[in-house]
Amino acid sequence: MTERPRNRRGCGCLIAPLLLAAFAAAIGWRHVDRELDDPVPLAGQSNAPARWDDTFVPSAVAGALTPHPFLARDANATMHGDAGQSDTHLAAGPFGAGLEVRTRQSGNGMPRQCATFVHRSDGKLVAMCGGLSGFRMVLLDPESLAALASFDLPIRPSAFEAVVKRDRSIMMNDSSGGAYLFLDAQDRLVFANSRWMVQRLVADQENGRWSFRVEREWDLKPYVPHDCLNWDNWFPNSECDKVTAVMPDTAGRYWWTTRGGRLGTLDPESGTVSVIRFDGEEIQNALAVDARAVYVLTDHAQYAFSAGPDGKPVQLWRSAYDRGTRRKVGSINQGSGTTPTLLGDRWITFADNADQRINIVVLNRQDGRRICAVPVFTPGASATDNSMIGWGRSIILENNAGFSSAYEQTDYGAVAGGVVRVDVRGDESGCDIVWTSPLKVPSVVPKLSAGNGIAWFYSFEPATAADGAASQDWSLVGLDFASGREVIRIPTGRGQAFNNNWASISIAPNGYLYVGTTRGLIQVRQRAQK
């Protein structure tokens, strides 16, 4: 006798009301968890003073950013700063006496993490802050940290799936939904939301009040499979893909990617869309752009593309890399965890996922020819899911091996740690390790302050066994670009609210430094004179 297949709908309906009720509660928070106008400090903020090396003489690191006609100037446009994803800011960040640490809780209900920061031409800060109930854009006054306006994005399908399957990692491993936004040259925010819409958002003021409005939007659902498990789609039966990143090329065309390996273009004037797919490959990070090409890193290979006469992506070259045999703790998929970074006008760099020791890989951008592959960090404890700092011929990379997420990590002793600087030889004969640091950096997107030669990271001091993992002491730590030695440490706070959990550091043109945490954001600045 053949067993009759179970009715999926009939079986599911037994638990559906309970799960739906749980998620409805999360959705309900959207109406309660509003962005408060006045800042509420994070609980647990440190009162300890900054410590710095008096022998260190801050000095600018020579180099320049290549301007992009459709991006905000001076590396203020994306999570990684600029079109080359250099993770470098020109400003001189904080150093020395008189530093002030200020914090802001995002929302007033469920945890909401500020992951991406961009800086408008008028000095105002835009933070993208995500939580279970969806992402939120917040316009902030940098002097008061007051919220001037906010804009809620749709709930991500991964959040609903995480609730249904009781697996928080589903949400934590999803890089889609708006984090890889960009700020254009007209102070407009461009991103893809979790409903497959590319939106262009404007913040403006009327009668003394600021607000966001959608200036234009483009629907990608005809081009991207979108049958995803969600609160309004309990029984998907086909493919679910998610739009991850959007970037403009130097002609003003928007390029976009999906987690499922789709690469597309969008003409913002005509609305024309073209798309291709990498068979069996995923894309989890952002795009790098120069005047010649758009660079896409999948979990198998590094690619360079241009746009054909019809806008369709045309492959210029492909370079495969060692993707390893498994996903490691410290990565969100099997393959490179880095957004590709452009070095000067000649090279592109990324990290692979080789099993024992990952390699910093450098290619020639013209033809994809490999210049070097340098193994880094401790054998068996080498992984990264954050992009490198790239400036001139220099690459700085952190080790994220052993860190899963702020919500899953129980053993902080498992965080392997390590930071390395590698320089490319000018004659392209190879690359050399310049220095290493034992600094433990679980998850932050680091930044170089080219204005004073400090590379910034976010680290911790281990809690005692009695205190538990949730009571870690967190600090911003600056390393000397030239030598790698620690030159400044700024305590920020203790506990889960201060866990960085994969968010970014950003340095504003005025020198204010920001870093995201699980409950909001931290600002470090020179104390205002009274």
Q: Which residues pair with 305 in a beta bridge?
A: 294, 315
pLDDT for residue 296:
98
Burial degree of 31 (CB within 10 A; 0-12, 13-18, 19+)? exposed
Write out the DSSP string of 305-365: EEE-TTS-EEEEEEEE----SSPPTT-SSSS--S--EEETTTEEEEE---SSS-EEEEEET
CA 457 and chain centroid, separation: 14
Amino acid, res. 265: T
Single out the residue of 314, 321, 276, 317 nearest to residue 298, CA to CA.
321
Q: What are the DSSP E strand ranges found in 481-530?
A: 486-494, 505-507, 513-517, 520-526
Spatial separation of the C-alpha atoms in residues 26 and 20, rounded to whole Å: 10
- Amino acid 6 reads R
**Cross-sheet strand order for the sheet of 288-289:** 288-289, 294-297, 301-307, 313-320
207-212 long-range contacts (CB < 8 A, ≥24 apart) are 209/149, 210/139, 210/148, 210/149, 211/149, 212/137, 212/139, 212/149, 212/150, 212/151
| 274-317 per-position pLDDT tens digit | 999 999 999 999 999 999 999 999 999 999 999 999 999 999 99
Q: Which H or E run includes 210?
A: strand 209-219
Other CB atoms closer than 10 Å to residue 55's CB: what's the count? 7
Q: Indicate the pTM of the whole model.
A: 0.93
DSSP 3-state assignment of 423? strand
Which pLDDT belongs to residue 402? 95
Distance CA 476, CA 517 (A): 12
Integer Cα distance of 297 and 319 in angstroms? 10
Q: Give 71-122 pLDDT, tens digit per residue.
A: 999 999 999 999 999 999 999 999 999 999 999 999 987 779 999 999 999 9
Find out whether 492 and 498 touch, Cβ atoms under 8 Å: yes
Residue 475 near residue 492 (C-beta atoms within 8 A): yes
Strands 125-131, 112-119: pairing is antiparallel
3-state DSSP assignment of residue 370: strand
- Fill in the DSSP letter of residue 414: G
Q: What is the third-level CATH fold of 13-526?
A: Methylamine Dehydrogenase; Chain H (2.130.10)
Q: What is the mean pLDDT of the chain?
A: 92
Contacts of 14 (CB under 8 A, 6+ apart): none
Q: What is the pLDDT of residues 230-263, one digit of tens each?
A: 888 999 999 999 999 999 999 999 999 999 999 9
Q: Which amino acid is at 112?
A: R
What's the CA gap between 193 and 189, in Å, rounded?
12
Residue 160 DSSP class = H
In terms of Cβ atoms closer than 10 Å to its own Cβ (0-12, 13-18, 19+), residue 199 is buried
Give yes or no for a contact between 430 and 372, defined as CB atoms under 8 angstroms apart: yes
Distance CA 412, CA 463 (A): 9
- One-letter amino acid at 316 equals L
In the chain, which stretches have pLDDT less than 70? 1-31, 463-470, 529-530
